[in-house]
Amino acid sequence: MHSNRNLLHMLTDHKSGRQICIENALSLKILQMEELNNYRSGQLSISELADLLISRRVVFKVPNDPVAGLWDVSLKKRVPVFKGHQQNLVDRLTALRLLEAQACTGGICDPASGERVLIKEAQHRGLFDESFARQLQQCEQAYYGIIHPQNGKTLTVAQAMQENLFPKDVGVKCLEFQLATGGLINQESQKRFSLDDAIQNCLIDKPTAAHLQHGNSHSKCITCPKTKRKMSFKEALE
């Protein structure tokens, strides 16, 4: 923590990737100075502080990240998406879509460690079962790229869709997830691109880009556990 009062002090919980703004939390009176002093003295860990503020709804979303886990209000702790489904926090389809978004944007999130891992490792850690693992394979491919069977070139999802090497329904869904979390991913560099940049770099065709540009056309694949309203992944993040 710096002493300069003109700076905002951000704490990062590496287990969840969430960031906490100390000044905002104090000004909103959802963090007490005594609790902050307990953290500074080592009596309260960063994860415990994060859990405390999560329960009080003062968590700042990390840019370009999918939903990493779910908050169990009764237990007052973070749980992996699949475990949240098992505890009836979300329905199966919503859990699957949240995990698909993780797989196609960098790996499955392990809330316990803050790591993002491959599907095989995630299953080994008990983050989901074999049925989920099978359904997530193509989304992992969407992140690492699709190898052209004839020339061995690594293709983006949109490029593979154009050549009928990747299912269009899965591909469009993955592109929606990527765009909602910061931009389309170039499989060779792992860098993010805006739609315009992706078009200029021939990473996506104009018709697919036009679909992605209109948020109203995104699939309503997430069900709000409270209202049961169907919404797009982008709406869920907002």
Q: Is 34 exposed, middle or buried (0-12, 13-18, 19+ CB in 10 A)?
A: exposed
Dist. CA 73–CA 96, nearest whole Å? 21
Dist. CA 67–CA 73, nearest whole Å? 17
| Domains of the chain: residue spans and CATH | 10-55 (no CATH), 70-237 (3.90.1290.10)
DSSP 77-122: EEE-HHHHHHTTSS-HHHHHHHHHHHHTTTSEE-TTT--EE-HHHH
Q: Is 82 exposed, middle or buried (0-12, 13-18, 19+ CB in 10 A)?
A: buried
Q: What was the pLDDT predicted at 63?
A: 53
Q: What angle do CA 61, 109, 67 make, to 5 degrees?
A: 35
Q: What was the pLDDT predicted at 73?
A: 73
Dist. CA 8–CA 24, nearest whole Å? 9
Mean per-residue pLDDT of the chain: 84
Pairing of strands 77-79, 108-109: unpaired
Positions of E strands within the chain: 10-13, 18-21, 70-72, 77-79, 108-109, 116-117, 146-147, 154-155, 184-185, 192-193, 222-223, 230-231
Structural Rg of the chain based on CA atoms: 20
Dist. CA 159–CA 15, nearest whole Å? 35
Q: What was the pLDDT predicted at 69?
A: 83
Residue ranges, the chain, pLDDT below 70: 1-20, 28, 54-64, 76
Evaluate whether 69 touches 78 at the Cβ level (below 8 Å).
yes
